[in-house]
Amino acid sequence: MVQTHVDEQPKGVSRNRPPAHMNGDEEKAGIGLRLGLHIVEETSKGRIAVIDPMKKGLQDLVRVSHLVCSAGSMGRSYKGDFQRWQLFPGTCEDKPVLANQFSAFISRQDGRKYSTVLHPGKPDLPKTLLVENLNSLDIIPTPSRTADGQPPVTFVIAAQEKEDILISECPYFVISRSSASDEFTAKDMWNYVKEHGSFDHLDPIKTSMCSRPGSSIGAAIAASVKLSPKATQDISFSLAWACPEVKFSSGKTYHRRYTKFYGTDGDAAAALAHDAILEHASWERQIEEWQNPILQDERFPACKLLFLRINSETLSDGLPPIQSLTAIGWKKFSLDMLNGESDDFNEMVRQNNTASDILHRMASVFERMHASIASNSAIGTTLLQGEENIGQFLYLEGIEYYMWNTYDVHFYASFSLIMLFPKLQLSVQRDFAAAVMMHDPEKLRILHDGKWAARKVLGAVPHDLGLYDPWFKRCCNTGDKSFARAVWPSVYIAMAYMEQFDKDKDGMIENEDFPDQTYDVWSMAGISAYCGGLWVAALQAASALAREVGDKASEKLFGTNMRRPSLSIASCGMVLTSVMMMVTTKYAKACGLFPIVDKDKAQSALEKIYSFNVMKFKGGTRGAMNGMWPDGTVDMSAMQSREIWPGVTYALAASMIQEGMVEQGFKTAEGIYHAAWSPEGLGYSFQTPEAWNNDDEYRSLCYMRPLAIWAMQWALSNPKLHNTPQADIPQDSFPKNQFAYARITKLLQLPEDESSKSFLRVVYEIIRNRFRS
């Protein structure tokens, strides 16, 4: 076996520990203490904390995860070797498997022999091409019983055999943790193939043993071919794995999406490997046709690396969770094995599919019972109105922040899904629409200030879909009217819930001087261009969605409300230039809505940000600094104010492109390339983090937000939208449902926390009320 290690690591120093530059020692100590208590509490319950600063940083890791029918992902390092495995939700195995090797042995007629080994230290992987006239296929399944209660996984390697290509196999060898002297080891396997050039005469007894508990086993396959001088031959190999169940720490288990097509048995791995060899040429051709419009677009500079970078994805089959039927205690049921279908049942028995039939009937029981409790769950499939159930999609915020589908981050990353997998985007939106209607009064402690708050209140959009038990707790881009009708009530109630944050009733919501937005340790107070812009865009989007579903009264209600604060946001002054000032204009414009600020004001703001946040920090070679003072110095008031966020930088670049500032947009994004990808940069290839700061320290590798690079592609391609053309809303009448809407907003209002008011706040409210009277 060849020993290897990663010679280079990201040059930035990991800040995977309590931040050292927070706004005040007391705040830092308080957050650190509460986070520590949270970690201890979660560990005592046998669970992982959503954020654990003491966890070992994944400095060696980079990866391009693959969306492979929701079967998990394998990641590669900057060298090309596979060394990051995410086959189970929230679990990352962060080291290469040294047994994963590809060897070539060459024997010449004069007796000379040559060999080379591609291994985790030398990952120049060959590209295999399909050769026609498939005669046979050799497949080796390697079922694996996993530890820690995880579902079993079956791996398969396969090779294509034809007249001139002979295939031989070694179905079993021991990699580690075995003391038996009679076992066939990895060393034995390599020595044998080195001596004989194939596995044709292996002892079948030694290579057919069962593995021992705690051991690691492997399998190998060899292809032999004779070549004349200057001749070539293509040999196809394939690797597949089947892990039909996805289990969360709450105990609930779901079937993965691919099981709808390949079944729930471990034999699916063999079928996948078989199809890969037969169909991969067609798959590659379709992928190239899909990607070529982007890759061959000459407008893109060489440094614009568009990459699909899903952190860790799970796509279920969209059906209810699997659990023990004997654990159901709230309803009677019968499995009803025959149900008038005796012929079908007898056919199942003859085909040795009894187990599959029973599992199918059990799933039907779960589905019927699931319908009665779905109203208390964030399960968007209940909102389907005749559309295809493509399942439910989850992806992690990052490999260090264990939260599924974090919504404020998905706000930036969603362009990747809407452009590449629009049905998955709608699936995510349905889940959140269902979650808006949920109310969970369980009290949880907020890490920022230690106060207690309800887990989820009616009308609020949740921060994420959880970790331990996800799901339980854009229409104009697709033209999907059924989707629009299904989610419209959730949009309406979410807008009504947000009205309470307009404290002075001028039509504009205010920030409350704590991190109540995506910058979760950087407080904003009063009107902010970021949240204010989001609010104006949301009012306009709600009006447009109401028009799509035929709710004329609500169209007028939100359209009228939109005009009240528009002047405020258009003229909102900032003491410092912040990159998020213009992000919301990008989203509104991408959805075909009216601009929330005039074009000249938008360009003026973007030019200011480009001049200060981009070019005044290291000449634009790091991206856009989050906060800059008017004198050109970095805002050091909070950890995140002095950070560069690649995802926000990409969103800013997209805003510039939308406003006709294409050169500045690419120059802004180029800073991320220099920092993350270039040889002179910080070494983040394929593992773009959430942030790096003014000292080149990074935070949270493999983050979701940098998928916002697809917002640049959206701005450049200007896709066709499906929304109804907007029209000016007359202002000569009062919206008919204004009073009913006001009643809903009042019923959704959070109770006032009197103990949290400062003396100055009380004085302010007394004076304000006195003037109003």
Q: DSSP letters along 99-163, please?
A: T--EEEEEE-TTS-EEEEEEBTTB--PPPP---SS--EEEEEEEEE--STTPPPEEEEEEEEEBT
By the 8 A CB rule, do 194 and 186 touch?
no
Q: Which of 192, 230, 233, 205 is nearest to 103 (CA)?
A: 192
Q: Does the pLDDT value for residue 218 go beyond 80? A: yes
| 85 membership: H or E segment, kind and range | strand 82-88
Higher pLDDT, 249 or 732: 249
Question: What is the mean predicted confidence (pLDDT) over 484-504?
Answer: 89
Local confidence band at 209 (pLDDT 50, 70, 90 cut-offs): low
Cβ neighbours around 666 below 10 Å, total:
20
Question: What is the mean predicted confidence (pLDDT) over 384-400?
Answer: 80
* Residue 572: predicted pLDDT: 43
Q: In which residue are the tokens 């879909």 written?
A: 465
- The structure's pTM equals 0.79
Q: Does the pLDDT value for residue 28 go beyond 50? A: yes
- The whole-angstrom separation of Cα 546 and Cα 489 is 10
pLDDT tens, position by position, 666-705: 999 999 999 988 888 898 877 889 999 999 999 988 899 9
* Residue 59: predicted pLDDT: 35
Residues 6+ apart with CB under 8 A from 308: 64, 67, 416, 420, 707
Q: In which residue are the tokens 């992000």 written?
A: 583
**To the nearest whole number, what is the mean pLDDT of the chain?**
75
Question: How many angstroms separate the Cα of 637 from the Cα of each of 13, 23, 486, 613, 624?
Answer: 21, 6, 43, 16, 17
Question: How many angstroms separate the Cα of 225 from the Cα of each of 81, 131, 349, 438?
Answer: 26, 13, 44, 63
* Residue 57: predicted pLDDT: 43
479-493, 560-574, 702-716: range with highest mean pLDDT: 702-716
Local confidence band at 228 (pLDDT 50, 70, 90 cut-offs): confident
Question: What is the mean predicted confidence (pLDDT) over 560-575?
Answer: 53
Q: Does the pLDDT value for residue 255 go beyond 90? A: no
- The whole-angstrom separation of Cα 527 and Cα 477 is 30
* Residue 616: predicted pLDDT: 94
Residues 6+ apart with CB under 8 A from 67: 73, 308, 310, 313, 315, 421
- The whole-angstrom separation of Cα 361 and Cα 344 is 13
- The whole-angstrom separation of Cα 493 and Cα 506 is 20
By the 8 A CB rule, do 473 and 489 touch?
no
Higher pLDDT, 584 or 436: 436
| Coil, helix or strand at residue 698 | strand
Q: Which of 390, 156, 147, 148 is nearest to 266 (CA)?
A: 156
Residue type, 693: N
- The whole-angstrom separation of Cα 532 and Cα 194 is 68
**Domains parsed from the chain with CATH numbers:** 125-249+257-295 (no CATH), 319-382 (no CATH), 390-721+738-767 (1.50.10.10)
* Residue 643: predicted pLDDT: 94
pLDDT tens, position by position, 302-325: 555 444 444 445 555 556 666 555
Backbone φ/ψ region at 355: left (φ over 0), alpha (ψ -120 to 50), beta: alpha
| 367 membership: H or E segment, kind and range | helix 354-373
| 588 membership: H or E segment, kind and range | helix 583-590
Question: What is the mean predicted confidence (pLDDT) over 350-376?
Answer: 59
- The whole-angstrom separation of Cα 140 and Cα 2 is 24
